[in-house]
Structure 1
């Protein structure tokens, strides 16, 4: 076993590398996975010291005056985290829903997130890798492997990190090349659903000043959704087929300068997920189009640091991302309905430049200033094919058999400057102030939603093959009817014209007080404001009956940008204000660690997204701004070293998250939605429902997790480590309408329970690790979701179906994992 002294010496080496690279690292005086022997007394044990960069300076997590949860790679492995959604249950107030069409995690912190995974808006929880911002939610699906650390910051982050985020920030820090020693490791996992996963890394110091690191990961498994009788042959939905490779280099020619550069490729060729009526391992769906997904992300990231002799550090952080996706997703539910959709061609390109200047960490007045630039360009062709579907309840044929959503040029440009300082008033009292000014510009040029009365394809080609006769989005005035009333036989028409170019600017800030109540206990209080840029949505229609001219198009574009008239094709930014009181302390001779955060957050114009079907059969994501929302909460995190060989970890979150003002329409049932929520009726506004007082989505009132692990030493010196974790959540709502049970006979539909709700649940995971007394390998057996609990993660795409359907968390999975390391 590795003794504490040697581990601590290695930790100081890793801290030095992390500070040179501007990265974060978790450091332990005694690592969870490298415990001391069972013969040691409990008095010699101490909580590991975890280093983070949540303030863009290297600090211990106990000394960081923020609500932040951090993991090193060992802790991620203990919790079986391969992707971001695996962190659910390990972080207070973190809940993750899964999008089916794009296999994308939708992240919520403290009840704040977004169900819009498209290029029209931003996630409320920002995602960064090595300081590089990922604007698309799809980037969060990347494999989490060979990391120095993962940090989850809760609450608005309006000063330091990338673009503003109202819900929080996820920072991943990849493991950096080491200049002074060789190391390598590998890991192999086998499990049910034919799971096969491999991870490997090698670190090579080439010279005294140059080192490279190569890491790769593959994770594959079969789908969890069985094919109902009569389904088409193909891969089951819920299959995993992920692969990633990363090459990184660190050059440090002297003590003043270092340059980090990395390239990463990630591919997802799984099927995506599909809603089903039941969850757990008992899932079945009628499938006419098996899932198909081909998603590729190429990322280039770099950081240069120059340390002046005066103690000032100048840093440049740059990034470039290029991604593309093709996909097919089943939308049918029975043999008498046939529908599917997906990305024909969806591309994304983004560039980031950031300059940062800061003084030394030991200064009495610490200061930092920076400039951040980000630009993204997106081009999207997303099709939905739904032939032979009755329209308006079966009375007429559907005039729209093929919907194609063309956004050839949707983008964003963001510029911001920021500054933050901390002044040490005394040895135990500090005050911090921060400001950020942001200018955002969005645009949609030539975006069109096009409806067609026929599916243009070659009959001999399968539906997920290349199309024949795709429409030319640049030929709108000649090749397409301007609306559905002016079509010629067999002609397609433009349903909406989406051109718009809004811009916004905002100044956000932070003020914080810190007090070291004792050498091991810190108290803090903070006031922070957050801002999330506005989002684009579908624009206006041509309602005329004459020839469509350029003047008509110009008039629609003008209306799409006319906020005063209420015809604008965009939704206003959301803003929030948060007050937080926190405690971070170590007790019982540093064998008990307790973090607590008490907060209240008020939102203005909270962005809400829902799926609607228009009278022309178009399937749209519509956005609106809820008037106001308030979230009050308490979060606790605790770690206790029990005796000489036990460790108990726990988290708890209480959320009172409700809309204060929200007049809207029910996205699925319109004004009839009052049947689910009678108190939402407003006699003065008969066409609107009042959702004031309803719960925010993905915000359970109470949630907690508790894990315990114990080290046993065998007679031959080997150790075994059993671990069990339980997590609990009270009921969760999936729609602002808070629909509970569908009444009997409503719209001639049968009674259905919990249309938008997951009832309270408890889930258990367990594992057992064996490590020999000599040799650098370990063997683990594990089972996740031990009781095969059926847990909804979101409502299905059509909750107005006769039988409601849902997205679900993973069923019971089990397997074995072998790790081996070389140095």
Structure 2
């Protein structure tokens, strides 16, 4: 049974993606908030309107969004198109409490929901918002950057989902459901989009029922555009950063040889050949960066996904959900910011493999006691060869014969294995009250075998270094280092050395749970109260150094590995898991004869063992700045989503989010300004460590206090029977902080640097988008013109790198973009 359907009360359920004759009337887009569509009711007169209900699988059972006791926003492909959603980034501003930043080196979205997220996009950690495509978990958030095309639906669940979705869902879950092959009809569609910045995009799909029991579906998408980051004078020639070059192809098959068995299988290939993003030193139409190495990205993902369902006569369903992902990346990313600072880096060879197996058993949805149990297995293997070249920099100030001019990070075997079992049940106490409880037990294992961070005084030695941990060489009687020095103090002229030894093998286990009470206050209004806990797996960080004087033996390596796994001493090369608990009160209601829909969620979330970069005082007395679990935070919030059918032809929708998200406990050193950071964050510090700054009370990153989205669309029927639909959207956000330090303005003359405003901050802003769509009275096509960010607002999405430099650097949301889109369908 497909994950998403549309349904009008009293009518037969139909697939969410299936067009009818006039899809502007019968498939009006799900606008930003509320995740619902509207159309003229077929059951009554032409003047009768009602909000159409969308169904979701947020509880791993098919339920209407109004009857789903979770904070969830959902879209179908029409709604995604209507809101010009190509990638996950484009959902920002139309989903409550969702904020997205960009990571330049990984060309990856960093997703924050209700102030919960992660800036670690490497193989050493995990995002705090879980991504699932057709039920398959994606551990690498790069997978979220894939084109969102030919979907049955997209769901964004907010708040910890520690039972049904488990791994790293402390902030929430993004569920993407690809469109499944259909057995009962042929259909096809195609579209082309052109726009400024030389935007060219195409999409196409064909559904082929080959027999009464077997069908295939083929879909493809391509999107290209020029970059919008200007090159400052003196830059090297090449494509501008911010250029897009994405393509994807998906082929899927569906087989249903009997009423009680079906099998879905798909293969998808995704390619990203864009330049990646880069911080710039100015904003608006003059955004620019000094570029010495133009961006290069060759990122390929191959994904296989499958699901089998068997329905027993007793009403029990057994499902298997399996997936395999293989990806590889080569990239170049400029790290210089001025003509006298030349540095670049990127993936020489970065690969990722992941396998998932899940078994799920549940009884029928109509049972008074609904239950579901499952087993989840996930494993990933990563091999990383990442280089940074800085040929004109001596980090030792000329005081060493071995300046670090080239760094290479070799993690040949870094991986994760996760096993979990889960169970959830809902009991209908009465016709109006339901009680749900759920538990999940998880065991996670991480490892780094043979990982080394290597430094060199000569950039020409790259091709001579090993790709694995079988090192032999000088001062190395056991053959462990392969010609490398064991540390920077034992090098020969021109020799490279091992800076850190990263071998570690931590493991964790955790039980998370959920309890929820639902009350049908009236047939059209549901209230719910829930308590849920979340668990985000621990992460790996750089290990310890060799401090001996040689020779380097197996015993020395064993001692370093032991220190890397010694959490008691504070020398561990990993960070323990994060945990959170959330209490939520919700309302979901339909009013005014189903022409007004209102959803509300009031919540409080307590975050403990927050993974932060902070100071650690080890048992040896050393004061180290490293990733640790030193932080606590509390997030209180209110979210509203509404949809109102105005008159006979208008649609008004919107969402609002209020967040009070602050650190409760966070002592650290300013990572950019050191002891001078007190100029931005006056603090009494910690008596035990007087040099520390107290970030307690600071705002969490990517968590504006107030955000708002309003959308209005109106339908005009022309004299020739054609339909014209103008639409306008306004998105507002209060100020956003990009760093826990919450730095504001840099004082004039501070450390000899010029004045700079909003070092870590995007001030409050409003962004306007508009579109106009035409559909003829007869025909199978539509034409749309659109403008996004009409006033060309200068909106930062994240702080850039090296914010202690004279000119701060920032990532930016897109400037004003405009274009036209032609859509054609065949059925």
Q: TM-score range by the shorter chain?
A: over 0.9
Q: Deviations 1:327-366 (Å, cap 9, x if unpaired)?
A: 0000111111110000000000000000000000000000
Contact 1:109 1:154 in 2 (8 A): yes
- Residues 1:469 and 2:464 are matched in the alignment: yes
- The aligned runs of 1:149-548 (5 Å cut-off) are 149-391=153-395, 399-456=403-460, 468-473=463-468, 474-475=470-471, 476-548=480-552
Within 2, Cα distance between the matches of 1:100 and 1:41? 54
Secondary structure of the structure 2 residue equivalent to 1:478: coil
Within 2, Cα distance between the matches of 1:810 and 1:223? 10
Contact 2:394 2:404 in 1 (8 A): no
Contact 1:257 1:307 in 2 (8 A): yes
Shift of 1:159: 0.3
- Residues 1:640 and 2:641 are matched in the alignment: no
Contact 2:152 2:177 in 1 (8 A): yes
- Change over 3 Å in CA distance of 1:245–1:654 after alignment to 2: same
Within 2, Cα distance between the matches of 1:108 and 1:680? 30
Shift of 1:680: 5.7
Within 1, Cα distance between the matches of 2:460 and 2:291? 22
- Taking only aligned residues, the RMSD between alpha carbons, in angstroms, comes to 2.3
Aligned mate of 2:778, from 774, 781, 801: 774
Shift of 1:560: 0.3
- Change over 3 Å in CA distance of 1:131–1:554 after alignment to 2: same
Within 1, Cα distance between the matches of 2:263 and 2:216? 12
Gaps of 5+ in 1: 18-26, 458-466, 612-619
In the alignment, which residue of structure 2 is the partner of 1:785? 789
Within 2, Cα distance between the matches of 1:737 and 1:6? 48
Shift of 1:225: 1.1
Within 1, Cα distance between the matches of 2:401 and 2:802? 20
In the alignment, which residue of structure 1 is the partner of 2:603? 599
In the alignment, which residue of structure 2 is the partner of 1:31? 27
Aligned mate of 2:589, from 585, 602, 606: 585
Secondary structure of the structure 2 residue equivalent to 1:81: coil
Indicate the larger mover: 222-231 or 313-322.
Answer: 222-231
Within 1, Cα distance between the matches of 2:235 and 2:428? 68
Shift of 1:30: 4.7
Q: Deviations 1:598-644 (Å, cap 9, x if unpaired)?
A: 00000101123599xxxxxxxx9953324310000000000000000
Contact 1:41 1:644 in 2 (8 A): no
- Change over 3 Å in CA distance of 1:191–1:36 after alignment to 2: same
- Change over 3 Å in CA distance of 1:696–1:428 after alignment to 2: same
Gaps of 5+ in 2: 1-5, 30-36, 472-479, 616-623
Secondary structure of the structure 2 residue equivalent to 1:720: strand
- Residues 1:689 and 2:686 are matched in the alignment: no
Within 2, Cα distance between the matches of 1:516 and 1:29? 31
Shift of 1:803: 0.5
Shift of 1:283: 1.4
Within 2, Cα distance between the matches of 1:271 and 1:716? 47
Contact 1:127 1:135 in 2 (8 A): yes
In the alignment, which residue of structure 1 is the partner of 2:33? none
Aligned mate of 1:651, from 640, 655, 658: 655
Indicate the larger mover: 471-480 or 424-433.
Answer: 471-480
Q: Deviations 1:760-812 (Å, cap 9, x if unpaired)?
A: 01001100000000001000000111111010011011111110010000111
Contact 2:535 2:579 in 1 (8 A): yes
Q: TM-score, normalised by structure 2?
A: 0.93
In the alignment, which residue of structure 2 is the partner of 1:85? 89
Contact 2:402 2:494 in 1 (8 A): no
Contact 1:114 1:609 in 2 (8 A): no
Within 1, Cα distance between the matches of 2:25 and 2:613? 46
In the alignment, which residue of structure 2 is the partner of 1:461? none
Within 2, Cα distance between the matches of 1:42 and 1:665? 66
- Change over 3 Å in CA distance of 1:797–1:768 after alignment to 2: same
Aligned mate of 1:574, from 565, 578, 591: 578
In the alignment, which residue of structure 1 is the partner of 2:627? 623
Secondary structure of the structure 2 residue equivalent to 1:46: strand
Within 2, Cα distance between the matches of 1:395 and 1:226? 38
Contact 2:7 2:53 in 1 (8 A): no
Contact 2:73 2:95 in 1 (8 A): yes
In the alignment, which residue of structure 1 is the partner of 2:13? 12
In the alignment, which residue of structure 2 is the partner of 1:615? none
Secondary structure of the structure 2 residue equivalent to 1:74: helix
- Change over 3 Å in CA distance of 1:377–1:221 after alignment to 2: same
Within 1, Cα distance between the matches of 2:105 and 2:163? 34
Within 1, Cα distance between the matches of 2:458 and 2:110? 34
Indicate the larger mover: 45-54 or 740-749.
Answer: 740-749
Within 2, Cα distance between the matches of 1:271 and 1:428? 55
Secondary structure of the structure 1 residue equivalent to 2:182: coil
In the alignment, which residue of structure 2 is the partner of 1:551? 555
Within 2, Cα distance between the matches of 1:106 and 1:553? 35
Within 2, Cα distance between the matches of 1:75 and 1:16? 10
- Change over 3 Å in CA distance of 1:377–1:732 after alignment to 2: same
- Change over 3 Å in CA distance of 1:445–1:395 after alignment to 2: closer
Within 1, Cα distance between the matches of 2:145 and 2:318? 32
Q: How many residues are matched?
A: 793
Indicate the larger mover: 101-110 or 740-749.
Answer: 740-749
Q: TM-score, normalised by structure 1?
A: 0.93
Within 2, Cα distance between the matches of 1:41 and 1:780? 29
Indicate the larger mover: 389-398 or 417-426.
Answer: 389-398
In the alignment, which residue of structure 1 is the partner of 2:121? 117
- Change over 3 Å in CA distance of 1:296–1:609 after alignment to 2: farther
